[in-house]
A = this chain, B = another copy of it.
Amino acid sequence: MELANRLFFRLYQCANMLHKTGSRAVEAEGLTTQQWAVLGALSRDEAHAGMGIGELAKYLMVSRQNLAGLVSRMERDGHISVASDTRDRRSRIVTMTLSGRHVWQVLAQPKIRAYYEEILTDFSINDTAHALHYLLKILENMKRLDSEQLNGQDEDQAD
């Protein structure tokens, strides 16, 4: 229990520090870490035609309402644009603007790379892969619990 407590406490602190130091790294580009996650998602080949709000929220694992705020601010700043989906009038499609693509690929990428190198300076490829492996396992278990919590069921109340 003590070990688990420390693990999750440090996870909480790492995330806050990622937000604080990572956002500082790209402050000049007018970005935050969460916004670079959005740009990263939109820059993938499979997203070249844009992504729906719900689809993007699911990919990032944040609520649709939270993503709407993120998207609104990034649209305000000219990084992305949002348009109605012609095939489904409920949906809106998010795409990267030319300006956003420049900011992302030319300005921010080198700083993000430098940031990663600064944090992982004493990590081998193996270390990074192992750390990622553990986070993936924790994330999978959290997703499963998330689903169980929403479905009103738990191991304790199998029915």
> Interface residues, chain A, CB within 8 Å of chain B?
1, 3-18, 20-22, 24, 33-34, 37, 40, 60-62, 112-123, 125, 127-132, 134-139, 141-143, 145-146, 149, 155-156
Contacts and interface: CB of A to CB of B under 8 A. Distances in A.
Given A17-B146, A135-B10, A116 B24 contact: no
Contacts of A3: 125, 128-129, 132
Nearest to A22: B8
A18 B22 contact: no
Contact of A118 (B17, B113, B145): B145
A4 to B, nearest CB: 4
A1 B16 CA distance: 21
Contact of A145 (B10, B113, B119, B129): B119
A5 B116 contact: yes
A139 B61 contact: no
24 contacts: A3-B128, A4-B119, A4-B120, A7-B131, A7-B135, A8-B18, A9-B37, A10-B132, A11-B11, A11-B18, A11-B135, A12-B18, A13-B139, A14-B15, A17-B143, A17-B146, A21-B149, A24-B149, A114-B156, A118-B141, A119-B141, A122-B141, A130-B130, A131-B131
A5 B109 CA distance: 11
